[in-house]
Structure 1
Amino acid sequence: MKIGKAFLLGATALSAAFICLPAIAAEAEVDTQESEANNTGIQDIVVTAQRRGENLQKVPIAVTAFSGEALETRGLTDPQSLEGAVPSLTMSRQATSNFPYLRGIGSQAGAGVDEASVATYIDGFYIASNLSNQYGFNNLERIEVLKGPQGTLFGRNATGGVIQLITKEPSQEFKGNFNAGYGNYQTVDFDGYITGGITPELAADLAVQYHDQNEGFGRNLVTGNDVYKQWDYAIRSKWVYSGDSTKLTFFINHEKLQSNGLLNRLTPESLAAKGLTEIGRFNFASYKDPWQRSRKVYLGFRVEQDLGFANLISSTFYANNNQIYASTTDTQQSTIVYRPTDATDSARDKSKQFSQEFQLLGNAESRLQWQMGAYVFRFKSDTILSLQDPFRAPNPIVFGSAKTSSFALYGQATYEIVPDVKLTGGFRYSWDEYKTFDSRTSIPSLGLDIAAPDRKANFGKPTWRLGIDYQMTPDILGYISYNRGVKSGGFSIYAQTAPGYAPEVLDAYEAGLKTQLFQRAVRFNIAGFYYDYKNLQVQVILPGGAASQILNAATARVYGLDADFEVVPFENFTISGGFGILDAKYIDFPGAPVVGADGVRTIINAGGNRMVNAPKFSGSISATYVVPTQIGEFRVNGSVSHKGLSWATPGNILPFNAYTLLNATIGWTSSDGRFGVDLWGRNLTDKVYYGFRIESPFGHSQMDAPPRTYGVRLKAKF
């Protein structure tokens, strides 16, 4: 196995740290005792990365976590903003979905039935559909990003990692907060949260959120209408009953969204190939405006029963997603007169999900910590796809339905073999059935309706975790682990006669350190990793461009380093951030299709090319300074994030150029904490970058990321 210089250097640094850290253990332990005595330093964060509450610094997994307060301070309100704060995380935006990539592992498969390679969980419930991850929350307790395959405890399609959103627990105390804001582009925001006790054992909360951007970033020069506008709202409620040995939790989530920013503009290179020029960064010329409407409903119910020797947990979840959109590709960007020659990609996706999980968690206070469980999953999606393109008749309409059924058994145990040294072993086996049915292609212009055969496939794959960790001091943890992750195989819903694709398998080797030093004024966590990747699933555009297909790339390998840090150099001043160094390449990828800027399609072996959405370097730094005064507390936060060059497709001819973003917030909170005001700005330098780029039958298309935005937010608490 050939390992590059960067990985060797990283492994050497980690090994040296393992050797040297015990030498400073005594000093670190003294620092810890002094910190605890003075109650100063960085506060602990409790995470559920191993499906139970634990101190972040005691968990032998690479995790980046943000408290609700930190999310608000840094303005991390949606998936796109989250990528600027988490090393090695990239959020690719395609039409109506956000596609997370962690350490180069992800998926851009955009049909409603397709699942991501980085799993999303809300309050411990798995959210299957790629169309469900345009989330924005105002009631978050914290966000956890788990890096690397989490195949044992999370299992389903957590090949690249897991993003966990944990909402606030209702309180017996009656309290709440309301925020109202106004920003450029005539943007109005409002959110509120209230909670309180219903009975001595029952508490509930209600969270509401409203966003209305009434002025678009650009205009359709044919229709004269604004584009890149968005309106959405969400209502969420959680109810918790806490008895002597029983806890019941019920939550409901309802969201609606409308936007008209689903515009695929040709890149400058593709325009040049057609002899055309751009007509503005967010402008376009088409006889139709793009649009999107979506609705999401989630219901979750959890029962937790204390059995004495263990906790028994039952988790039941239901999700319903409904989305319809029309995404326009402007092929005549130099023309501003009516001309019905642009392609409109329209689709409708309906999906329903049901899952049931049973967990048995052993008492965490013994030397042996264990848990086991069973998981049942059902997912059904109905899809309609239509491409209306005057130059590519006969413009078929594709109908299809797909269903996934899965069952899994799993268990994991951690045993303290000698004081401060723990050995972990976990195993999971999943049985998956994937089938497509009621598939057909309709060609109205020719009077044809062609039925496709039903397809069915069964997959059974194991995943596992092996690890050892050493608590060198109360504030220094070292660990080594080997994990296998698997993403299930299936069929491409749009390529109705294509053969299926096999499960992808990722073997991950990781070594890491978690440290808190200098009286807990410094928290620094670092991990080095190496991935062997087989049967990598990659989405490619089919000939003619009317649909896409998922293929298995032969092999790939990934290695790198990522780190998080937080420093409190003096009282009221905090610096935090992180970085990721990544080398991700296809080893062998025969038959990889490549579409040039002129729309010409060729076939290559992409072996040796860099994997998509895998920048060699990404990093961020944020600083917050708090100034207490007699009239209240003033707070200044500034953050800078950088994303290096990466590629949008396996052919490595369509780049995401490197970019740097600057965000800032200036705020004031009254002395009693009841009132406040924030002035905020995002992308203050108005950097041009892209949320998504793709090969298309017209050449290369792209979706622009938001420009500079700014505004004011008024806050009140009671």
Structure 2
Amino acid sequence: MRAPGTSTRLWRLSMVLLAGASGLMLCGPASVAMAQQASEPADSFQLEEIVVTAQRRSESLQSVPVTVSAVTADMLESRNMRSNEDLNVSVPNLNIQRASGPVTPFLRGIGNNSTNPGQEQNVAIYVDGIYYASMSADVASFNNVERIEVLKGPQGTLFGRNTTGGLIQIVTKDPSREFSGKAGIGYGNYNTLRGNLYVTGAVTDTIAADLAMNGQKQNDGWGNNVVTGKKVHYRNDFNVRSKWLWDPSEVTRVTLSADYSFTQDDVGSGRQILRDLPALPATFNNYAFNGNIYDVSGDASEPDKTKTGGISLNARHDFDAFSIVNIAAFRKLVRNSVLDLENTPAPRSRADGYDETTETFSNEFQVLSPVGAPVSWIAGVYYFWADARADPIQIWNIGLGPALYQRIDDSLKTNSYSAFAQATFPIFGDRTKLTTGVRYTRDNKSITGTINTALATIATADQSTHWGKATWRASLDHKLTDNVMAYASFSTGFKSGVYNATSPTQAPVNPEKIQAYEVGLKSDLLDRRLRLNGAGYFYQYDDIQVSKFTGLGISQQNAASAEIKGLEVEIDAYLLENLRLNGGASIQKSEFTEFPGAVSFVRGANGLGVQTTIDATGNSLPRAPDMTMNLGFEYTHDLAGGSELSFNGAFYHNDGFFWDADNRLKQPSYNLINASIAWTSPDGNTRVRLWGANLGNKEYYTYVSSGNGNPDAGSPGAPRTYGITLDYSF
């Protein structure tokens, strides 16, 4: 029997959502209350309220007319989630992969796999409201996290940089005046050591501070380089963060934050040619796949080394009629990498020093309505500056003839100015609210640089341009009952245009634009023991920025247009007082409605890529699976003497996706299973946890590349990993 197609799955899930919404509206408050009363046990247990800042102020997740997936600190720990790329297992329709080191998030089918200096994400990363501009900065491990919010759909109104796909906001803990802390150590397979430390307390009567550190040392890789004998596919990192909170009065609050991270890994950059290729030509040493996706055979594979850090100041003062907030931040990133471009033992083609230095400064000034005002509003201005430099990119390629060597030095500068405002008005009584917001952004961008060979300077770049765009949002939400809200929204967004750092003389790609329609339902049922949220969406997506690795650099072009439609459901429930279930599912259909002239690399008879152009109209968008699903549970059991045993499990299914717009190479569907068992002491201070990830040892890829004159190659996701951790709180 054939599996149902995407259209059938969309129809089925839409019927579930509509039936649920209709049933809730027909029941009404009285019927729901009766159901809650009838099922209420003697000892009540409820889902906690989750507070998010999706609209730049603290609000309940269930009252925000935006699709937000929230991941708590407990979920991060129990599911062994250490960095952004682990979020897939907990967020429907989020598909985070790796590309030459940095992570590349795709949300609802929208993302970009270019990792060039100056390239910004379609799904932006924020930490405590601070924008992380460089894609290379997104690999830092989670440190001292309170929660993570994933906002879906274009963010064209409230947040600093306009995006088409959404954003991931990481919120870290604030320091406390009460002295406390937590320390932990761990050991895992592949001879992996982990450690973390958090300390917080009062410095003076008005100042509290904290210090958070964590790190990992992986002494063995998942595989080996069969040419050099070195280990491959490993990660070492160290992260430190500190916050200083000054409360000189009840109406003034100032937070100074600083952080530093060092990461050394080759996940995404260490690659093996794909298993179905024929034996390659003699110029590639007749190399063939060696049977192990975790090994590599390049003659120049080295781990990426990334150093990133920054400092920020967040100041707030509350007046009677309004509040003001100013957030200023400076960040710097330095990344060094070596890439074997053809991924074989032949000393033929490599990027020997693909180096990036990015410095950014941002300042945001906000004016907000007071808490509890009948009309909630916010207005502000935002400035962003960036200098992203190739320092340098050095490419060796025997195929270039006399020009065996190219050195690209360039600098991409951004000056961006924007003003924004949003307000929420009650209409037709307190149960119905209208939200409207608008933002105007002007981006000034330039690129200067040179391309040199060993013989001469062959190109000089000195270009500049600007783009301006107004984006806006409107939503209407209505409380069907005290615990059930329905909403509908229309929003627009754009992603700024960009120059190509690997080819600085090329004209820039233009900004991409999106129009998004969404309806959703948020509900807390059964005396808040069941939380069921769902959303349906339709995107009209134009001038899409499509990037493709060519073998020597990144090809960037604008596709004409695409459509994306889909449905999502998230559930969180107490099945028993000591058994909690949560999960989500998404199904979607993405399609280029017009894309002539798409760059493609067809595979020749000798297994090497041949560059051509195709009409990709009708193809699926890259890295946009038709279906994803995640399901997790937590079961706790009290032991004699007051200690506790807890069991956690998480299942993730990805239906598979195409790696590029030409739809030639596909990642098949795969499943991941994670689990942990933890013992907690009677006083709650000591915890021992056994954990495992990818327990089924499923083979899958986090990045697949093709290029002109090179074979198709891929970098694998992690195999089965497991370990033990010991944490002590004080």
TM class by smaller structure: over 0.9
Shift of 1:657: 1.1
Which string of whole-angstrom CA distances, capped at 9 and with x for unpartnered residues, describes residues 270-315 of structure 1? 4556564322222233433322211101111010000111110000
Contact 1:35 1:41 in 2 (8 A): no
Aligned to 1:152: 157
Aligned to 2:188: 183
Aligned to 1:643: 654
Aligned to 1:21: 24
Correspondence list, 1:74-473, <5 A: 74-242=79-247, 243-261=249-267, 262-272=269-279, 276-279=287-290, 280-329=292-341, 331-332=343-344, 340-341=347-348, 343-344=350-351, 346-383=353-390, 384-393=392-401, 394=403, 395-417=405-427, 418-437=429-448, 439-444=449-454, 447-473=455-481
Q: 1:272 to 1:659 in 2, by over 3 A?
A: farther
Contact 1:265 1:703 in 2 (8 A): yes
2:579 to 573, 576, 579: 573
Aligned to 2:664: 653
Partner of 2:619, secondary structure, is coil
Correspondence list, 1:540-619, <5 A: 540-542=548-550, 545-597=551-603, 598-619=608-629
Rounded to whole Å, the distance in 1 between the matches of 2:618 and 2:52 is 38
Which string of whole-angstrom CA distances, capped at 9 and with x for unpartnered residues, describes residues 119-171 of structure 1? 11101111111111002123111011011112101151321011010001101
Rounded to whole Å, the distance in 2 between the matches of 1:59 and 1:367 is 16
Q: 1:689 to 1:367 in 2, by over 3 A?
A: same
Q: 1:9 to 1:628 in 2, by over 3 A?
A: closer
User: 2:522 corresponds to which letter in structure 1?
Assistant: K
Q: 1:204 to 1:216 in 2, by over 3 A?
A: same
After superposing the two structures, state which structure 1 stretch, 451-460 or 254-263, moved more: 254-263
Number of residue-to-residue matches in the alignment: 706
Aligned to 1:336: none
Which string of whole-angstrom CA distances, capped at 9 and with x for unpartnered residues, describes residues 658-690 of structure 1? 100011101101010111100011111111001
Q: 1:320 to 1:576 in 2, by over 3 A?
A: same
Contact 2:272 2:293 in 1 (8 A): no
Contact 2:611 2:707 in 1 (8 A): no
User: Aligned-pair RMSD on alpha carbons?
Assistant: 1.9
Partner of 1:269, secondary structure, is coil
Contact 1:406 1:430 in 2 (8 A): yes
Residue 715 of structure 2 corresponds to residue 703 of structure 1: yes
User: 1:427 corresponds to which letter in structure 2?
Assistant: V
Which string of whole-angstrom CA distances, capped at 9 and with x for unpartnered residues, describes residues 87-133 of structure 1? 00011201120011100011112112110000111011111111110
Contact 1:506 1:531 in 2 (8 A): yes
Partner of 2:122, secondary structure, is strand
Partner of 2:276, secondary structure, is helix
Contact 1:29 1:475 in 2 (8 A): no
User: 2:508 corresponds to which letter in structure 1?
Assistant: G
Aligned to 2:3: none
Contact 2:450 2:457 in 1 (8 A): yes
After superposing the two structures, state which structure 1 stretch, 155-164 or 84-93, moved more: 155-164
Shift of 1:67: 1.4
Contact 2:10 2:588 in 1 (8 A): no
Q: 1:9 to 1:575 in 2, by over 3 A?
A: closer
Task: Mark the runs of 5 or more structure 2 residues left unpaired by the alignment.
Answer: 1-5
Residue 541 of structure 2 corresponds to residue 533 of structure 1: yes
User: 1:442 corresponds to which letter in structure 2?
Assistant: N
Shift of 1:330: 5.4
Rounded to whole Å, the distance in 2 between the matches of 1:377 and 1:56 is 29
Amino-acid identity (%): 33
Q: 1:387 to 1:465 in 2, by over 3 A?
A: same
Aligned to 2:499: 491
Aligned to 1:626: 636
User: 1:24 corresponds to which letter in structure 2?
Assistant: C
Shift of 1:209: 0.8
Q: 1:203 to 1:37 in 2, by over 3 A?
A: farther
Contact 1:116 1:157 in 2 (8 A): no
User: 1:421 corresponds to which letter in structure 2?
Assistant: T
For normalisation by structure 1, the TM-score amounts to: 0.95
After superposing the two structures, state which structure 1 stretch, 575-584 or 262-271, moved more: 262-271
User: 2:705 corresponds to which letter in structure 1?
Assistant: I
Task: Mark the runs of 5 or more structure 1 residues left unpaired by the alignment.
Answer: 334-338
Q: 1:273 to 1:474 in 2, by over 3 A?
A: farther
Rounded to whole Å, the distance in 2 between the matches of 1:330 and 1:218 is 18
Partner of 2:660, secondary structure, is coil
Which string of whole-angstrom CA distances, capped at 9 and with x for unpartnered residues, describes residues 316-374 of structure 1? 011000011102245436xxxxx534534531100100000001110231221111010
Contact 1:530 1:558 in 2 (8 A): yes
Contact 2:118 2:498 in 1 (8 A): no
Contact 1:331 1:341 in 2 (8 A): no
Rounded to whole Å, the distance in 2 between the matches of 1:585 and 1:423 is 32
Rounded to whole Å, the distance in 2 between the matches of 1:399 and 1:681 is 44
Which string of whole-angstrom CA distances, capped at 9 and with x for unpartnered residues, describes residues 462-488 of structure 1? 111011000111210100000001111
Partner of 2:727, secondary structure, is strand
Rounded to whole Å, the distance in 1 between the matches of 2:112 and 2:52 is 26
Shift of 1:554: 0.2
Contact 1:118 1:157 in 2 (8 A): no
Contact 1:385 1:397 in 2 (8 A): yes
